[in-house]
Amino acid sequence: MDVYTGPLTPEEIIEEIDEFLKTNYLTEFEDFLKWAGINPTEFKSVILSDDSHWVLKYFENEVRFVHSFPARFSPHSFRVKANTLKSAILYLIVVGKDFITEDDLNFARAEAGLSPIKDVVDTEAITEMIEILRAV
CA distance 49 to 110: 41
Residue 56 to residue 77: CA distance in whole angstroms? 16
| Domain parsing of the chain, residue ranges | 2-77, 80-135
pLDDT tens over the chain, length 136 residues: 999 999 999 999 999 999 999 999 999 999 999 999 999 899 999 999 999 999 999 998 878 999 999 999 999 999 999 999 999 999 999 999 999 999 999 999 999 899 999 888 889 999 999 999 998 7
Residue 41: what residue type?
Answer: T
User: Across the strands, what pairs with 56?
Assistant: 44, 68
Cβ proximity of 82 and 112 under 8 Å: no
- CA dihedral sign of residues 37, 54, 20, 67: positive
Distances, alpha carbon 53 to alpha carbons 19, 22, 43, 100, 104, in Å: 15, 18, 13, 34, 36
The structure's pTM equals 0.80
